Amino acid sequence: MERIIQLERVGTLVDIPTTSSIFSDNITGENLLLPLPPKTAIMSDGEIEVESPAGYPVLPKEVTEEIGSVKLFNKWSYEEVEVRDISLTDYIQIRSPVYISHSAGRYAVKRFRKAQCPIIERLTNSLMMNGRNNGKKLMAVRIVAHSFEIIHIMTDQNPIQVAVDAIVNCGPREDSTRIGSAGTVRRQAVDVSPLRRVNQAIALLTIGAREASFRNVKSIAECLAEELINAAKGSSNSYAIKKKDELERVAKSNR
């Protein structure tokens, strides 16, 4: 598809042929064909101004700058956060900043798309377990927000970085699986894929927090904050770290 744009250079109009741009939608995976702006003006001072057609507004400079400074809960920055395990960088999603960990199930539409879901939202979703908590997303978001405040007070660090470190430390690298038919069954040690490591780490962290808060004077937000801090340090006081070590020990004995 070919279009003609008008180039205006200090009063002179020149027609320049150009083609439409193809963009890939990260959510649906479809290719979107977007027309290029029909009028580009080069000003006398050398700056380029673009007049966009209806339906394709050019964002103001202030808005584009604000997009780069999106913070979780309008408080915690994503800029300094890093994943310290190179094998998990594609599965711990911190590259797309969001204000709140609620995407209304957008990442559950297709298999494996949850790998692109913001990691704090995956932690939030994992809190909605055990029947009575099903679907209570706003309650889970509130718990995570409260626990992040506690983490910042206790460690004076960015709580997103603490949560990412905890997930990196809690994913088992080796596990064991059942091999054989119904007659003779034995266990065989296997490597764990990066996505499963992240899945198991999140599950172990939230299970540990839930069990610690059951029949306890501490709230689940306090228990989750404590679990994340201990796991980020690699401390054996963490439920998730203990379970990970146990899984790896069993796998080692079945090599």
**H or E element, residue 234:** none
Question: Please, where in the chain does CATH 1.10.455.10 lie?
Answer: 73-253
DSSP per position, 171-227: S-SEEEEEES-SSS-EEEEEE--HHHHHHHHHHHHHHHHHHHHTTSSS-HHHHHHHH
Q: Calculate the alpha carbon distances from 122 to 19, 118, 130, 167 in Å.
A: 40, 7, 16, 11
Query: For position 105, what pLDDT does the model report?
Result: 87
pLDDT at 154 (0 to 100): 93
Candidates 1.10.455.10, 3.40.50.2300, 1.10.10.10, 3.30.1280.10; CATH matching 73-253:
1.10.455.10
User: Do residues 52 and 58 touch, judged by C-beta distance below 8 A?
Assistant: yes
Provide the pLDDT for residue 126. 93
Beta-carbon contacts of residue 45 (< 8 Å; ≥ 6 apart) = none
Mean pLDDT per block of 10 residues along the chain (255 residues) reads 41 43 50 48 52 58 68 86 90 88 89 91 91 91 94 93 94 91 85 94 94 93 95 92 93 90
